[in-house]
């Protein structure tokens, strides 16, 4: 966990990154109402740490909720992008960062159900 991010912010980033997968599992397991109750509580300012505990998500064991900042695959024929940055939490409450998906759609925050904000400087 980065030193500049407190436990609640980190738990919120982990929770937000996990919600889409949890929603799929919740549909199969018939616990959608429980999950959506936690999402609503966290979005209203409730504790993401508590939500993670109740849903048995271990933020300390979870992979970092941020994108991979490695170089990734390169193609020699494409120009270098001139706009550098990343998408961040629309509620300005957690440190989660993400990139566009494979279909070039901006990422969405699962907690606030909004498109994540783009900030320059990545």
Q: What is the pLDDT of residue 63?
A: 60
CA atoms within 13 A on the CB side of 65: 29
% pLDDT > 70, the chain: 76
76 or 48, greater pLDDT: 48
pLDDT tens readout for residues 10-33:
889 889 888 998 999 999 999 999
CA distance 107 to 86: 10
pTM: 0.56
Residue 94 — φ and ψ, nearest 5°? Answer: -135, 170
State the pLDDT at residue 73.
Answer: 46
- For the chain, the helix, strand and coil percentages under 3-state DSSP, each to the nearest 5: 35, 10, 55
Amino acid 62: pLDDT: 64
Mean pLDDT of 41-67: 82
């Amino acid at each position: 966990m980065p030193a500049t991010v407190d436990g609640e912010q980190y738990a919120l980033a982990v929770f937000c990154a996990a919600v889409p997968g949890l929603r799929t599992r919740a549909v199969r397991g018939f616990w959608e109402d429980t999950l959506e109750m936690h999402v609503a509580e966290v979005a209203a300012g409730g504790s993401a740490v508590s939500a993670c505990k109740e849903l048995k998500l271990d933020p300390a064991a979870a992979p970092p909720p941020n994108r991979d900042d490695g170089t990734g695959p390169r193609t020699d024929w494409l120009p270098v992008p001139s706009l550098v940055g990343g998408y961040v939490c629309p509620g300005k409450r957690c440190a989660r960062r993400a990139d566009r998906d494979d279909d070039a759609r901006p990422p969405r925050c699962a907690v606030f159900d909004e498109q994540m904000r783009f900030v320059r400087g990545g």
